[in-house]
Structure 1
Amino acid sequence: MARVGKVDAETAVTIDDDLAAQFRKMGASVEAAPDETTSEAIEIMASNRDSMLGFLAVETQWRVAATTGGMIWLGLDYNAVDVVMRRQTLPDAIFADLATMEASALSILNGGE
């Protein structure tokens, strides 16, 4: 799953059908809208902008364990998350939102719903 959107305050983050479905599984109400460059896009409420940008900024900071049964997603590497948050100058309050999104994502990534 690749991120399609840009980390740009002036541009809506664009997602594909798979990512939109994952948001719906996490309880987020998203509505894909046609875009000039892609077939679908969603809008993030302004109050959730920093949280979403933070989550996208740490998307490569997942801890994963390889087992004979497959991959197990353990969670975000909080040391790396802290570095990213400081570099992106994100408010400390965003961390709680990241933890909430992490918990929902772990359920989906590990095969739950």
Structure 2
Amino acid sequence: MSAPKLADGDVIWTCNVEAVSTFLAVQTQWRTVATMLGVTPTGLDYAAVEAGLRLAGREVSPETWADVQRIESGAIRGSLEDKG
């Protein structure tokens, strides 16, 4: 699998390409909640993620899924840091 192309020129280590490309394939599938800080992501909508990956013909190993969840957690933390 080739590395995802990132607009800002960041490099993805080879060992992370599978997880990052899987995350990027479903990066729009967030559950959100409206708060006083605005709309805040609470996590990926796993049913929508599963459907999106299935429709894309992608099989995800348990190890890659765990990596995707770590990326998800970091994205949530980053989003919260941006707000406050």
User: Shorter-chain-normalised TM-score: which range?
Assistant: 0.7 to 0.9
What runs of 5+ residues in structure 2 fail to find an aligned partner?
none
**How far is 1:67 from its partner?**
3.1
The higher-RCO structure (CA 8 Å, 6+ apart) is 2
Ranges in structure 1 where 5+ consecutive residues have no aligned partner: 1-7, 17-40
Corresponding residue of 1:89? 59
Tell me which residue corresponds to 1:14.
6
Q: Percent identity?
A: 31
RMSD: 2.3
User: What's 1:30 paired with?
Assistant: none
Match of 2:45 among 74, 77, 88: 77
Greater Rg over alpha carbons, structure: 1
User: CA offset at residue 72 of structure 1?
Assistant: 1.7
> 3-state DSSP class of the match of 1:110?
helix
The two structures have a TM-score, normalised by structure 2, of 0.76
User: Structure 1 segments of 4 or more deviating over 4 A?
Assistant: none
